[in-house]
Amino acid sequence: MKLLTFFIFTLVSTLSVADDGISDKEIKMILIHQSIQEYGKSCPCPYSKSPNGGQCGLNSAYSKAGRLSILCYPSNVTKKMVKKYRSENGLQ
């Protein structure tokens, strides 16, 4: 998880100097990271580490009924979300 956070931080940090060639895959990773950060509690996703050090698994917010709209996987990010991100960030 720390490696993913580092990757996303690096990607977001360099976004301002990047050209419009950012891929949909990169945008999905950014949106996933933002979603997890906005949740702000432990165990947002099944692969997250719980406070006791184990994986959250079925105790994650994502795994609970309704999934609380947390994005944990690229398949959770729709084309519409990617398009909206591109539009809001001038990445047409």
Question: Reduced to 3 states, what is the DSSP secondary structure of residue 19?
Answer: coil
d(CA 18, CA 14): 6
Full-prediction pTM beyond 0.85?
no
The per-residue pLDDT for 1 is 55
The per-residue pLDDT for 12 is 53
User: Percent helix, strand and coil across the chain, each rounded to 5?
Assistant: 55, 0, 45
The per-residue pLDDT for 17 is 42
Residue with structure tokens 């709209």?
A: 69
Collect the ranges in the chain with pLDDT lower than 50.
Answer: 3, 6-7, 9, 15-18
d(CA 92, CA 58): 38
